[in-house]
């Protein structure tokens, strides 16, 4: 009996193994299908696919085009397109800077607007390519701050142009050292020119003065908002023939909050609050508008019980006589006073005087 027990279990073990192979191999026990399912189950995503899923794929310049989980997380950011006047302001800034930087450098300068995007302040600080100079400025009327970032290419180009560097030669960069006092002073002068143009660009919309506050080379010391706060990032490029670089203007939404209503306008003329064409049209229509006037002879205060006791034929005594003054009103608003009379078969009222606000 002991020798027969394993023999009785052999068909059961073989059947279990067959079922396991069929489960792994798919329906029908096809070994090829089973191998394919094994490959699909054991496949591991590479780093590029993981970055694409999360939304970190692509170069730094493609930061506005976010996708994946990162786009879902940042979907709460307010789009700058809800503030249409910003494009008008920064287009005006580009034109002003093209002229002012030409006068500042005595060179042929072209300024172009790359992008206007919304970004969280903390993400922007982490994306700044170093070395760079960060200029903190203050909006006096709005009582808040902004940030201007000048990259190393533009810094060396400005220094080379202002100190008489020859054209046609690439600017010499010395990496791994802090910026000198001369370089910082020259960049500060350029930032002051940009801030004057930025104030002039906002002038038609709202008078504001942007004043230079300080220069920083460490992004940690240029923190002007909370990391999770939303901000407007404007990227501009400055080209001086074969030299140039980029600088960026960052304005937190808290800074733009005092003029948010003005930035919601569709065109600059809305800030005046009036349109002469519609004003004339509305005035013409008002003159032809019909209104209902009510002539009030007298008013009395009665209890609700007396009113409920009214019957057909009940007489109400008024404190008015033929020479009493009648009040004319429209929609319950008193307009003028007059005396009642008759013209032909119609009851008429001759206007005696108009009502002033004090009399109302």
Closest-CA residue to 27 (of 41, 37, 42): 37
Report whether pLDDT(137) > 50: yes
Kindly state whether residues 87 and 48 are assigned to the same domain: no
Kindly state whether residues 86 and 175 are assigned to the same domain: yes
Of the pLDDT bands very low, low, confident and very high (cuts 50, 70, 90), residue 196 is very high
- The domain boundary, picked from 272, 301, 323, lies at 272
Average pLDDT, the chain: 77
Instruction: Identify the domain containing residue 142 by its residue range.
Output: 77-272
The verdict on residue 225 lying in a domain is: yes
Report whether pLDDT(15) > 60: yes
- 107 and 286 Cβ atoms separated by less than 8 Å: no
Report whether pLDDT(75) > 80: no
Report whether pLDDT(45) > 50: yes
Give the pLDDT score at 80: 54
Kindly state whether residues 93 and 41 are assigned to the same domain: no
pLDDT > 70: percent of the chain: 71
- 253 and 78 Cβ atoms separated by less than 8 Å: yes
Report whether pLDDT(269) > 60: no
Q: Strand pairing partners for 134?
A: 149, 216
- The domain boundary, picked from 272, 300, 316, lies at 272
Kindly state whether residues 118 and 264 are assigned to the same domain: yes
Kindly state the average pLDDT of the residues 126-149: 87
Match 């992004």 to its residue by tokens. 219
The verdict on residue 199 lying in a domain is: yes
Give the pLDDT score at 358: 47
The verdict on residue 237 lying in a domain is: yes
Kindly state whether residues 183 and 262 are assigned to the same domain: yes
Report whether pLDDT(252) > 80: yes
């Amino acid at each position: 009996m002991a020798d027969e027990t394993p023999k009785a279990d052999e068909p059961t073990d073989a059947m279990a193994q067959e079922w396991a192979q069929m489960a792994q191999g798919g329906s029908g026990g096809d070994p090829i299908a089973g191998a394919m399912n094994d490959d699909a189950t054991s496949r591991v995503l590479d780093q590029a696919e993981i970055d694409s899923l999360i939304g970190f794929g692509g170069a730094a310049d493609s930061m506005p085009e976010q996708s994946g989980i990162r786009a879902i997380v940042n979907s709460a950011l307010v789009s700058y397109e809800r503030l249409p006047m910003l494009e008008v302001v920064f287009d005006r800034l580009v034109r002003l800077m093209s002229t002012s930087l030409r006068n500042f450098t005595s060179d042929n300068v072209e300024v172009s607007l790359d992008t206007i995007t919304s970004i969280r302040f903390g993400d922007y600080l982490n994306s700044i390519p170093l070395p760079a100079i960060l200029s903190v400025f203050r909006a006096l009327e709005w009582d808040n701050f902004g940030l201007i970032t000048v990259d190393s290419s533009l810094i060396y180009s400005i220094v080379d142009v202002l100190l008489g560097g020859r054209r046609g030669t690439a600017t010499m960069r010395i990496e791994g050292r802090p910026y000198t006092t001369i370089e910082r002073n020259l960049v500060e002068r350029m930032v002051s020119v940009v801030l004057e143009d930025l104030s002039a660009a906002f002038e038609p919309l709202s008078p504001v003065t942007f004043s230079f506050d300080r220069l920083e080379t460490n992004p940690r010391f240029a923190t002007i908002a909370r990391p999770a706060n939303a901000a407007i990032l404007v990227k501009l490029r400055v080209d001086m023939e074969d030299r140039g670089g980029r600088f960026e203007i960052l304005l937190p939404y808290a800074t733009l909050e005092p003029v948010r209503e003005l930035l919601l306008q569709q065109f600059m003329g809305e800030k005046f609050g009036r349109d002469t064409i519609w004003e004339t049209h509305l005035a013409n229509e008002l003159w032809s508008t019909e209104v209902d006037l009510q002539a009030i002879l007298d008013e009395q205060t009665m209890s609700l019980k007396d009113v409920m006791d009214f019957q057909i034929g009940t007489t109400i005594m008024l404190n008015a006589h033929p020479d009493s003054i009648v009040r004319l009103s429209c929609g319950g608003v008193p307009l003028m006073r007059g005396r009642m009379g008759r013209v032909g078969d119609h009851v008429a009222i001759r206007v005696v005087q108009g009502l002033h606000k004090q009399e109302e």
